[in-house]
Amino acid sequence: MNDLPKIFNEFNEARQKGFVDVKNLKDDGKKIVGTYCTYSPWELIMAAGAIPISLCSMSDEPIAEAEKHLPKNLCPLIKSSYGFGLTDKCPYFYFSDMIVGETTCDGKKKMYEYLGKIKPMHVMQLPQTNKGETAFNAWKHEMILFKERLESEFGVDITQEKLKEAINLRNRERKALIDFYELGKMCPPPITGTEMLQVLYGATFKTDKEAHIKTLTKFTQDIKEDYENGNKKVSESRKRILITGCPLGGATEKIIKLIEENDGVVVCYENCTGIKANQELVDESIDPIDALTKKYLNIPCSCMSPNDGRIRSLSTLVDEYKVDGVIDVILQACHTYSVESYSINKFMKEEKHTPYMSLETDYSQNDVGQLKTRIAAFIEML
């Protein structure tokens, strides 16, 4: 359909358009809560009458300033997050009334101490395992503490009813996103990996969730109709790639472009930018706090030990998306994903018989030549 490229551009520009939206929301008296990670329980923020928004953290622009306070050999996501807050170059950070973070890694945990001197900061102490009653109770306690902090900070009462409404809204958004992700199961896929990432990354900056669900649902339907009418833009000969590892977006889009320049197409994003955080819905039949605790604790991030959920998820996705190869994207100095790459490689080769490659990168463009050589060789081997 002729308006599809226009919609892709809308999602691609969502971050920039969101700057105006968030200013208007502030002018209307709305409270803004900035988040960094998929472990942030957006439902609690929404139930408090506030607007959750993803903060800028995927550019090398502010890293030089961040390195005046942080070590150079630190993960670029952490340095970028802090740099944007330090320099006030992220409008979302500027307009946030409060920031929430989770102790997913030591670097973030210590960086949050500095961010807390710039903005009101709430840090949720994430258990390092999602196994057993002890971990569940610890994370439930953090949910309650965050709920109480929001109520205190904004002078509101987060009722059971408000929380149930927020859970229902977020679940409907997740379902719309899942329907969109599953376009990648089609052979050939109806959209490119770059277009898919534009929508997934742009979705994190959509403040009106009802409007977002409506737009995304229609968008997915239009793509399917266009495909069924014979408009297939991706060649069947392209190798189907699954991306796993660290979050993607912003500067790391260089990897997706290189894949597509070398006869590949990304059909699935298993990482935080994609399926990982949305594949499980919040159980609407049990106590809301228990349901949120269970859902968010089950996110299979490499910060969890053991992280069996990632293996199970990848096993299913490789089959369902008919994957030819897996590329594990690891940001420099991200120790948990770096260590876990050995077990993922072993699993892919021995259990799934699927070619695997890990790529270490940062937010600069200095390694594009090297990445191009490695990606081209990998896809040619497929």
**Which of 5-19, 277-291, 293-307, 339-353 is predicted with the least confidence, judged by mean pLDDT?**
5-19
For helices 335-347 and 308-320, give the axis angle rounded to 10 degrees.
50
**How many folded domains does the chain comprise?**
2
Residues 183 and 246 in one domain: yes
Can you give the pLDDT at residue 6? 64
pLDDT digits (tens, 9 = 90+) for 104-131: 999 999 999 999 999 999 999 999 999 9
Residues 265 and 318 in one domain: yes
Contact 303, 125 (CB under 8 A): no
Residues 234 and 372 in one domain: yes
Query: Mean pLDDT, to the nearest integer, of 53-72?
Result: 95
The alpha helices in the chain, defined as continuous H runs, are 4-12, 14-27, 42-47, 63-66, 76-87, 91-95, 106-115, 132-154, 160-181, 193-203, 209-228, 253-261, 288-297, 308-320, 335-347, 368-381
| CATH number of the domain bearing residue 131 | 3.40.50.11890
Tell which of 105, 126, 158 closes a domain.
158
Residues 186 and 132 in one domain: no
Residues 6+ positions from 20 with CB-CB distance below 8 Å: none
Can you give the pLDDT at residue 24? 92
Residues 6+ positions from 297 with CB-CB distance below 8 Å: 127, 130, 135, 136, 139
Tell me which amino acid residue 286 is: I
Q: Strand pairing of 356-361 and 325-331?
A: parallel
Tell which of 158, 179, 195 closes a domain.
158
Tell which of 115, 140, 158 closes a domain.
158
| CATH number of the domain bearing residue 177 | 3.40.50.11900
Can you give the pLDDT at residue 202? 82
Residues 135 and 198 in one domain: no
Would the pTM count as exceeding 0.75?
yes
By residue range, what is the domain housing residue 350? 162-381
The DSSP secondary-structure symbol of 183 reads G
